[in-house]
Amino acid sequence: MFDKARSCLAKPLYGAAIVLASFWLGPASATTDYHIETLTQGLEHPWSMAFLPDGRMLVTERPGRLRIIAADGKLQEQAVSGLPEIFATSQAGLFEVALDPEFSSNQRIFISYSYGDRDANNTRLASARLVDNQLQDVKTIFTALPAKAGTAHYGGRIAFLPDNSLLLTLGDGFDYREEAQNLSNHLGKIIRINRDGSVPADNPFVDVKDAAPEIYSYGHRNVQGIIYVPQLKRIYSHEHGPRGGDELNLIKPGVNYGWPLITYGVDYNGAQISPYTELAGLEQPLLHWTPSVAPSGLMVYNGTRFKYWQGDFFASTLAEKSVRRIRMKNGMLAGQEVLFEELDERIRAVYSAPDGYIYLLTDSSEGRVLKVIPTE
């Protein structure tokens, strides 16, 4: 059932990430010996995974399929039926699947995906009940506007907050980066809604004329990682920069994170996007990666299998083909390591699973679910 990768020691990182001058990324306090096993293979560009209470897993495939994996890793041949119509091409498709925090009693899941066509599309969020191998009571609870042309930068990650609301990350649509500063639309924003799709009364722009009331923060490029950390009562996200300037941010309501007015990156052709890396009133990242690592997923490790990693953040990367372990100490960033480079694969997402192990999704037409296991 399992295909083993070679055992490896975590590698401390010295200076491979450029950071703010006030923050030095030093070596990790301890390395961890691990091995990696293939749990499931044969997935087409897997994007997200959720762990069901009975040990099974839900996995999205970007082309528009929701799959079920048994606890032993066997992929159910038939995809889950009942998904809404999904626009899938290039970066567009089916993104996140997330269980309602009360899934055991209501069987509800949330899915994010792109809607529309090549000339008019954006991100949408729906809820549904998972009944056997079918989605029932599918409801659209949020639609990002305006519909725009192109097939890039959708965001799509979900995080639940303890007040019964949720956060959904969005992208700037690539060709519409200036709209990240426009409060009248959803491009380049993180939005907050209640789980029924209604707008929380305490959202920061509810009473601002012409502002989209769902907006929680703005000035983002393409946010593909977000977590709420209960122990710290904080929200963290990361987003893709252009060439360089990928960011890890502490998310606060109503705050402007600067894109594209400030950035540590340049355009793909080398052209300057902004002469500024900081301006008054615009939030600085906790750290940035230059050159770009292309961060694609974010989690906080809360298991017991890797004792040295408890409470640390893990960011999967596409361009670097790694996972960045971001050490946390007393609520502060304390260093980084580069992990899992030996796989030499684009890693779409990283998870702290209920069994205490770490799971990875590889981003390819022959994508896999990988299980990281400490070596005794």
Distant-in-sequence, close-in-space partners of 296: CB < 8 Å, separation ≥ 6: 224, 225, 315, 316, 317, 318, 346, 347, 348, 349, 363
Tell me what the pLDDT averaged over the chain comes to.
Answer: 93
For residues 318 and 186, what is the distance between their CA atoms, to the nearest angstrom? Answer: 25
Summarize pLDDT for 331-345 with one digit per residue, the tens: 999 999 999 999 999
User: How many domains, the chain?
Assistant: 1
DSSP string, 130-144: EETTEEEEEEEEEE-
pLDDT band at 31 (very low <50, low <70, confident <90, very high): low
pLDDT at 21 over 70: no
Residue 342: phi and psi, rounded to 5, are -65, -20
Instruction: Say if residues 134 and 128 touch (Cβ distance below 8 Å).
Output: no
Enclosing domain of residue 222: 3-374
Over 70: is that where the pLDDT of 208 sits? yes
> Is 153 an annotated catalytic residue?
yes
CA-to-CA separations, 42 to 39, 83, 240, 344, 367, in angstroms, rounded: 11, 21, 27, 18, 6
Give the pTM.
0.93
What pLDDT shows up at residue 37? Answer: 98
Cα–Cα separations (whole angstroms), residue 194 to 127, 161, 191, 199: 12, 10, 10, 6
pLDDT level of residue 252 (50, 70, 90 thresholds): very high
Domain at 234, CATH number: 2.120.10.30
Please determine, for residue 3, whether its predicted confidence score (pLDDT) is greater than 70.
no
Q: Which of the residues 153, 238, 240, 288 is marked catalytic? A: 153
- Give 41-54 pLDDT, tens digit per residue: 999 999 999 999 99
Give dist(CA 126, CA 139) in Å, integer: 5
